[in-house]
Structure 1
Amino acid sequence: MVRHKVARSVVVDAPAKRIFDIIAAPARHSEFDGSGTVRANLFGPDRLERGSEFGMDMKLFGVGYRITNRVVEYEEDRLIAWRHFGSHRWRYELRELSGGGTRVTETFDYSRGLPAFYVLMGMPARNGRSIELTLERLKAAAESEGS
Structure 2
Amino acid sequence: MSTRQVSRDIVIDASPSEVFDLLADPRRHGEFDGSGTVRSAIKGPDRLSLGSSFGMSMKLGVPYTINNTVVEFEQDRRIAWRHLGHHRWRYELTPVDGGTQVTETFDWSDSRAPAVLELLRYPATNTRAIEKTLPRLKAVVEGRS
TM-score interval, normalised by the smaller of the two chains: over 0.9
Q: For structure 1, which runs of at least 5 residues remain unmatched after alignment?
A: none
CA displacement at 1:34 relative to structure 2: 0.2
Whole-angstrom distance in 1 between the partners of 2:63 and 2:143: 31
Query: Partner of 2:10 in structure 1?
Result: 10
TM-score by length of 2: 0.95
Query: Partner of 1:26 in structure 2?
Result: 26
Q: Which runs of 4+ in 1 moved over 4 A?
A: none
CA displacement at 1:100 relative to structure 2: 2.6
Instruction: Kindly provide the amino acid, as one letter, of the partner of residue 25 in structure 2.
Output: A
State the identity %.
59
CA displacement at 1:2 relative to structure 2: 5.2
Assess if the C-alpha contact under 8 Å between 2:53 and 2:68 holds in 1: yes
In angstroms, what is the RMSD of aligned CA positions? Answer: 1.2
Whole-angstrom distance in 2 between the partners of 1:6 and 1:37: 19
Instruction: Kindly provide the amino acid, as one letter, of the partner of residue 58 in structure 2.
Output: M
Q: For structure 2, which runs of at least 5 residues remain unmatched after alignment?
A: none
Aligned residues: 143
Instruction: Kindly provide the amino acid, as one letter, of the partner of residue 57 in structure 1.
Output: S
Whole-angstrom distance in 1 between the partners of 2:104 and 2:2: 14
Instruction: Kindly provide the amino acid, as one letter, of the partner of residue 76 in structure 2.
Output: D
* TM alignment of 1:64-83, pairs within 5 A: 64-83=63-82
Query: Partner of 1:107 in structure 2?
Result: 105
TM-score by length of 1: 0.93
